[in-house]
Structure 1
């Protein structure tokens, strides 16, 4: 009996983890990208979009992962977020909030990602009788899409009052315990200046042009939830990327786990 009681007590103390995924839908018309086939490059059509409904898009790929169950699908009223899916892990108290942003509003996607990374704008969702806090309270915030900061400065999104040095010791520690990942071309170069100012811990960034498809994101999340080291997470992501891109060896040079200096 005492052993059972202790196990029960520790399980009750475990906190719910929340992962917030922001997907800027691929958009030939509104983004400065190398054009992709029309059917998958319409940023107003999540069903067929390269980063959402296509074969390796987030929605389609995660629908095939048995440990992730869809518990809610929302259709927001505005045209900024076209679809929102909440997943629950079968074996852990972990939720994913995944949002497909209209490709026309990629600037808003990046703004929201940086805002949430700064621990601002908590987003609360009700799943049955459970309330989960995403946005600025998410444990892991992920951006997927075109690297919009190649064209626009991050500085317009971040007021000086959000800098890590201005936070209380308690909030600094909270920020250090949170993670950010950016699956976009050369994200280490373009997102490091902004994210490093916020004090959030980097999990995966990229150094080269790349395809931000869901197999890499899945590999990262899976390893992170197993409390693997950053080195191991990087290796798992690189291995998954190489497998699906049919590369001869893991693309370790493409992924990093620290900000640029």
Structure 2
């Protein structure tokens, strides 16, 4: 039997260790966008061209000027790695981005506006650490979904509508029990909801699941991409929650042409 040189064994071990460490240090952000939909959502109607939830190309929250896809396409630090059309008909487009300066991947999914309840359900499941999704990117596996470091929901607050509560509550977060290991892992994960009055409606499930709130909202607002971009940048820079909130509020005020940072709209805490 041939003996393996101690040096070759050491080199192999170090290579494996380093590759594992690099993977462990990779950050993943998962963004779920419920496309704006005049027909299927209880919203104040917007112009038809941007309110078609089956047309991501022109949708207010995806393809319009401040929609996620269009806005992030102009941000040089985010490189598009893949554009997919998942087999699941609920998701009309999926984009995978890689940060140019950091080991960070961002998965953004545009959900058909008709399936906004499913979008919320998936967001809550991912926030609970359920349903990890494995993607092959840059010749390595990236775990998103329930294994993402930051999960973000963008769109109409479907939980404000009675029908959405009825469709969501049965067999959902109220019955999820996390083990001690899962509870510890949740402390290092974050969730954000860019939707009207999200603190009030999303506090029950998210606080129950033990995931950290990064940004929630207190009033009606426009969930456009400049605020999400500001939050992600500040979070990746390791800034405090107060600093993140200020950056988000400042970006919102800039684009909404308000006289001062909109701190009254954003919070980093659950409601009591």
With the shorter chain as reference, the TM-score category is over 0.9
Q: Residues 70-219 of structure 1: matches in 2 within 5 Å?
A: 70-151=80-161, 152-153=164-165, 154-156=168-170, 158-162=172-176, 166-219=177-230
What CA distance in whole angstroms lies between the structure 2 residues aligned with 1:102 and 1:251? 30
TM-score normalized by structure 1? 0.93
**What's the CA shift for 1:158?**
1.9
Contact 2:34–2:116 (CA under 8 A) maintained in structure 1? yes
> Is 2:23 the counterpart of 1:23?
no
What CA distance in whole angstroms lies between the structure 2 residues aligned with 1:230 and 1:180? 13
**What's the CA shift for 1:159?**
4.3
Unmatched segments (≥5 aa) in structure 1: 1-8
Structure 1, residues 1-22: CA drift from partner, whole Å, max 9, x if none?
xxxxxxxx7x848611000000
Partner of 2:259: 248
**What's the CA shift for 1:171?**
1.3
Aligned length: 252
> Is 2:32 the counterpart of 1:32?
no
TM-score normalized by structure 2? 0.89
Secondary structure, aligned partner of 1:21: strand
Unmatched segments (≥5 aa) in structure 2: 1-17
Secondary structure, aligned partner of 1:253: coil
Partner of 1:5: none
**Who wins on radius of gyration, i.e. which is larger?**
2
Partner of 2:239: 228
Secondary structure, aligned partner of 1:107: helix
Q: 1:188 to 1:71 in 2, by over 3 A?
A: same
- Choose 123-132 or 15-24, whichever is displaced more: 123-132
**What's the CA shift for 1:70?**
0.2
What CA distance in whole angstroms lies between the structure 1 residues aligned with 2:264 and 2:170? 31
Partner of 2:3: none
Partner of 2:12: none
- Choose 125-134 or 113-122, whichever is displaced more: 125-134
Contact 2:178–2:209 (CA under 8 A) maintained in structure 1? no
> Is 2:249 the counterpart of 1:260?
no
Structure 1, residues 56-79: CA drift from partner, whole Å, max 9, x if none?
000000000000000000011232
**What's the CA shift for 1:157?**
5.9
Contact 2:174–2:205 (CA under 8 A) maintained in structure 1? no
What CA distance in whole angstroms lies between the structure 2 residues aligned with 1:180 and 1:115? 11
Q: Residues 41-52 of structure 1: matches in 2 within 5 Å?
A: 41-52=51-62
Contact 1:155–1:194 (CA under 8 A) maintained in structure 2? no
